[in-house]
Amino acid sequence: MKTENLNLFPKNGQSMKHYKIGGHHIAINSPSCATIEALLPNFSPFAYDGDESPLIVVHIVENHNWEKINKEIGQFDVGGCNHGVFRTNSGGYIFDISDLHGHLCSRMQTTPDFTTCNVELYQGTTTQQHYGLNNCMMMAYAFATATMDTILIHSSVIRCEGKGYLMTAPSGTGKSTHTHLWYTTIPGCDLMNDDNPIIRIVDGKALVYGSPWSGKTPCYRNIQAPIGGIVRIQQRPENTIRRLSTLEAFTTLLPACSSMKWDTRTYNGICDGITKIIQTCRIWELGCLPNSEAAILCHDTISKESHT
């Protein structure tokens, strides 16, 4: 996709790094490639050397002249950290990215479609600057691609027999535990991503991609697979599994997706994407104990259905 009205080439003394994530091309413009590589080692598997124009260009800036902002319009929650969101007079957004201790790590200003972003990294440790830039990249990606049948979803995904199975649940419920049980119990499984994989509808089929965003588990894999099923994990005193209705499936997936209800463009795009996922994939609810029997029940049920 061609990006309009952008300076796609590095300015004097700056360098551009290119990545392809979930099939979308992103470029980061910085004073040096070494800076980007040091702050975003999780992006290395997604390095891209093709010649197509990037969908998203992120400029790392210093002493930026930020557009005047009005009152905060919302909060965006990333892993328990609430980031302030402000609307600019030009129709774009400014995000203030703070860490778990409330320290401001970075600020990002975007165009209305999120395809051009300026990011300033504030003084702090390398860890804080990584956190700030990494979160900016994740939000820019999620919202720029929201109208392109692309969804960043909070889940853990395991690959088995060539298909990806996504486990979704609120943090701390046990989705990572369950994918680990698949890995240790069912032969031939491997972890694709443990926190924020990407779902895309391509030629009418639902695919899941690894991403640079994998929570506390360093699983940054540039791989993809057709989706075999999506499972909502619920802690229960016994192991049970059932198919979700269309309405239940929608209300399960929507809270798991990166979205901003106040932005009509991105929110409608995500809702449309979820609708296509439900039309394409089977969605399940697994009530379970943290044991191997739950993994076997889940695998045997949904993998059998995914082949029918």
> For the chain (length 308 residues), average pLDDT per consecutive 10?
37 78 96 85 96 94 78 69 82 88 89 94 87 94 96 96 94 90 96 97 97 95 97 95 97 90 92 96 96 96 74
Domain assignment present for residue 300? The answer is yes
Q: Which of 101, 116, 144 is the last residue of a domain?
A: 144
Residue 6 lies in a domain: no
The four Cα atoms 199, 112, 170, 155 give a dihedral, to 10 degrees, of: 20
Residues 274 and 298 both lie in one domain: yes
Cβ neighbours, 10 Å, residue 90: 10
Residues 127 and 187 in one domain: no
DSSP string, 150-192: EEEB--EEEEETTEEEEEE-STTSSHHHHHHHHHHHSTTEEEE
Q: Are residues 174 and 301 in the same domain?
A: yes
End-to-end CA distance of the chain: 35
Structure confidence at residue 47 (pLDDT): 97
- pLDDT at residue number 7: 40
Q: d(Cα 43, Cα 75) in Å, to the nearest integer?
A: 26
- Give the end of a domain, one of 92, 109, 144: 144
Residue 209's Cβ-side half-sphere holds a number of Cα atoms within 13 Å equal to 20
Are 161 and 290 part of one and the same domain? yes
CATH number at residue 299: 3.40.50
Q: Are residues 196 and 287 in the same domain?
A: yes
139 and 157 fall within a common domain: no
* pLDDT the model gives residue 280: 95
Judgement on whether residues 222 and 89 belong to the same structural domain of the protein = no
Residue 10 lies in a domain: no
Helix runs in 220-263, H state only:
246-253
- Residues with Cβ within 8 Å of residue 244, at least 6 apart in sequence: 232, 252, 283, 284, 285
Number of structural domains (the chain) is 2
Question: Quick one: 137 and 54 in the same domain?
Answer: yes
pTM (predicted TM-score): 0.91
Query: Which of residues 95, 126, 144 is at a domain's end?
Result: 144
With b meaning 16 or more CB within 10 Å and e meaning fewer, what string describes 157-182?
A: bbbbeebbbbbbbeeeebbbbbbbbb
Helices (H) and strands (E) in the chain, counts: 6, 17
Do 181 and 198 belong together in one domain? yes
Same domain for 234 and 120, yes or no, is: no
159 plus 277 within the same structural domain:
yes
User: Is there a domain that residue 9 lies in?
Assistant: no
Same domain, residue pair 68 and 160: no
User: By residue range, what is the domain housing residue 42?
Assistant: 15-144
